[in-house]
Amino acid sequence: MQGALQAGGWGLLAGSALVMGALVGFLVPVPAPIVASVMAFGSGVLLSAVSFDLIAEAHEKGGLTPTAIGAVIGAVLYAGANAVLAWRGARHRKRSGGQQPSEEQQPGSGSAIALGALLDGVPESIVIGTSLLGGGAVSLVTVVAVFISNVPEGLSSASGMRRAGRGRGYVFGLWTGIAVISALAAVSGYTVLGGASAGVLAGITALAGGAILTMIADTMIPEAYEDTHLLTGLIMVVGFLAAFALSHA
């Protein structure tokens, strides 16, 4: 019970960054280059977490085959779901400019954006929960990486939602709900997978890593590149090294 509560608390902490970012993005006119720079930094942090905390851990637990299979399945599932949601109007859910369609322009796009946000957040939270299995400590690098990346995600998306004419209740209701679901996903990762074998855990961890890596490429980097251009790679490397240093502290 204590482990499940810890998993939920860490998942809620990471998910709360979405609400913080949304609060800033909806209420404060943050310049697009700043949003893009933070998004680039968050992308670098997540890339480091996927490389050294998820994929490396999966390989250590189960070897190359479960890791590779899990990562590919995660990438395929995310890309497929993301393609469907993009068709329904959620393609630019992380964009802060005027790319997001309003409900009048594309009916149902609001629901698609909500599902897209859920798609982005659940794999990260499940990994947070699984990191506590066996009585171990939570993966601090993963929590920090998810938290840092969630701030610009909430900020950018909320700014775009405001431009698309969506109200305050929709925006904050969405991100608060996703934060709560993130906590539940972390609890599920801890409880449902508690008796799983090392190979299964390796596959699940790699699946989440593959999904997150695909999410970075499909949704975060395009927003970062939109306004930072030649600085995108440099800022990403800084974020990558910051997370790498934390994992080896």
Q: pLDDT by residue for the chain (249 residues), tens digit each? A: 677 888 888 888 888 988 888 888 888 877 878 888 888 898 898 899 888 888 988 898 888 999 999 999 999 998 888 788 777 665 655 555 556 555 555 555 555 666 767 777 778 788 787 777 655 666 777 788 888 878 877 877 777 777 777 788 888 888 888 889 888 888 888 888 777 788 888 888 899 889 889 988 887 888 788 777 778 889 999 999 988 888 777
Q: Which helix or strand (DSSP H or E) is residue 104 part of?
A: none
Q: How far apart are CA 63 and CA 138, in angstroms?
A: 22
**Residue among 98, 32, 95, 99 nearest 223 (CA):** 95
Class of residue 81 by CB neighbours under 10 A (exposed 0-12, middle 13-18, buried 19+):
middle
Kindly report the length of the chain: 249
Domain locations in the chain? 2-247
**Amino acid at position 2, single letter:** Q
